[in-house]
A and B are shown apart, each in its own frame.
Chain A
Amino acid sequence: MFEFLDSGQYDLLGAFWVTVQLTLYSAVGSLLWGTLLAGMRVSPVPLMRAFGTAYVNLVRNTPLTVVLVACSLGLGQTLQITLGGGDFESIGFRLAVLGLIAYTSTFVCEALRSGINTVPVGQAEAARALGLSFFQVLRLIVLPQAFRSVVAPLANVLIALTKNTTVAAAIGVAEASALMKTMIENESSALFAVFAVFAFGFVVLTLPTGLLLGWVSKRVAVKR
């Protein structure tokens, strides 16, 4: 039933490796950009708050396929923004990471913002009373406590991101689901086996993520 795996015709590990890379780069990027967005949304500057709110609501409510195709066709092919050039494959990969960051960061931002709301207002007041600036209060007191309270929701975002990388196939990135499409065409007799292989592959990636971060979430929780 799984003979097609032995044929040497398909680079299954290679394809999942691209999925892993897409996930890791996008996760780091959206954590950074999402944190900045959350900082904007709680900042005392009205313009920054407005930008943060508008960005999150616009991008979060746009289908990921639209975001990625816009990155590929709009940025890449029309505006010739290739993020460093190279061959078609690597340009596509970088544009996919850009699109995934743009999209996932909105969910990181909102998870983090709910975490910020769990930090008692007295923590920030005490920090301000010591003479810390807005950014110091955010960086040293509020965000560290906020992050600790949203590890579990962020794990959800990371799992969703891992699976969302499959949309990158739409702009020609050779990740796992792109290989699956090829295999479905070639191995139509073993259709369910192909599905099973890819479903299993994603579970292998996401299940440990969820378990590990669930454990981390308990360990780092702030005791009050």
Chain B
Amino acid sequence: MSGVSVTKGAEDAVPATGDLVVLSNVNKHFGALHVLQDIDLTIARGEVVVVIGPSGSGKSTLCRTINRLESIDSGAITIDGKPLPEEGRELARLRADVGMVFQSFNLFAHKTVLENVTLGQIKVRKTDKANAEEKARALLDRVGVGSQADKYPAQLSGGQQQRVAIARALAMGPKVMLFDEPTSALDPEMINEVLEVMQQLARDGMTMVVVTHEMGFARSAANRVVFMADGRIVEQATPDEFFSNPRSDRAKDFLSKILHH
């Protein structure tokens, strides 16, 4: 199942130039639960990979191991050719290059929207305040919440908060963006405003790993769909291939449950 090469669709503007994220033979346990089993996954530069699967299949955990918010028991993860450091300053430096968007937004509650987006630039990238604010405002405009810059996160809707969170991650100039179920905590009418931002990002050539239940997004924005179940990657294919002609019984079963109602 490892290293399945997938031809990218004609609509993709950015060609893949080498592997950006490589997971090889990754295993992880939560106590007795073997949550990631022999995971091999290669993500090329500019590629958008959507990870889907039933709850408890390990897809969020997989996403979180890529910037080591979850440690792994065995195997190796490299980002841009460099192995993931264990702890300390090296790990912090690597995390700065990997943007992450969480299900529950996790905006810093005691800081304004603008401060949320400038904090990493100032404290990690050592950008001066004026430049950081300029970049932050540009990014907030880009995700459509420029007018909310001086509010606190609690004053924003969920959709707005999640778009700020995307801007916060983009402000670091990441090589790859991880999305851990970015729309799962949102009211239905706010899901699209977040997905549109993500789709734009995908069109701009950002390398993305997206854990989601939004099959529409997977169809329209993904270069590749990775289907996980019970801690394993069961199947990976282009969205067209996966949704119209899933090979494994597990995937067929999953799709029949979510697509027919």
Contacts and interface: CB of A to CB of B under 8 A. Distances in A.
Interface stretch (A56-64, A67-75, A82-90, A132-140): A132-140
Contacts of A132: 92, 120, 123-124
Interface size classification for chain A: 20 to 34
Contacts of A218: none
A127 to B, nearest CB: 7
Nearest to A130: B120
A219 interface: no
B interface secondary structure, majority = mixed
B192 interface: no
B43 interface: no
6 closest Cβ contacts across the A-B interface?
A131-B96, A126-B106, A130-B120, A122-B106, A223-B154, A129-B100
Interface string B95-119: 1111110101011111000000001
Contacts of B154: 223-224
Interface of B: 67, 69, 87, 89, 92-100, 102, 104, 106-110, 119-120, 123-124, 152, 154-155, 165, 168-169, 172
Contacts of A126: 100, 102, 106-108, 165, 168
B109 A222 contact: yes
Contacts, number: 69
A122 B152 contact: no
B124 A131 contact: yes
A131 B85 CA distance: 13
Nearest to B69: A125
A76 B86 CA distance: 47
A219 to B, nearest CB: 13
A131 B110 contact: no
Contacts of A223: 109, 152, 154-155
Contacts of A145: 109-110
A181 interface: no
Given A125-B106, A126-B165, A141-B108, 16 more contacts: A120-B104, A122-B104, A126-B106, A127-B108, A129-B67, A129-B69, A129-B98, A129-B169, A130-B124, A130-B172, A132-B123, A132-B124, A136-B123, A144-B110, A222-B109, A223-B154
Given A122-B104, A126-B106, A144-B110, A131 B69 contact: no
A140 B123 contact: yes
B209 to A, nearest CB: 13
Nearest to A144: B110
A131 B109 contact: no
A128 B69 contact: yes
A131 B165 CA distance: 15
A125 B100 CA distance: 10
A223 B161 CA distance: 14
Contacts of A129: 67, 69, 95, 98-100, 169
B171 to A, nearest CB: 9
A133 B106 contact: no
Nearest to B107: A126
Interface centre among A125, A129, A132, A136 (most CB of B within 10 A): A129
Contacts of B120: 130-132
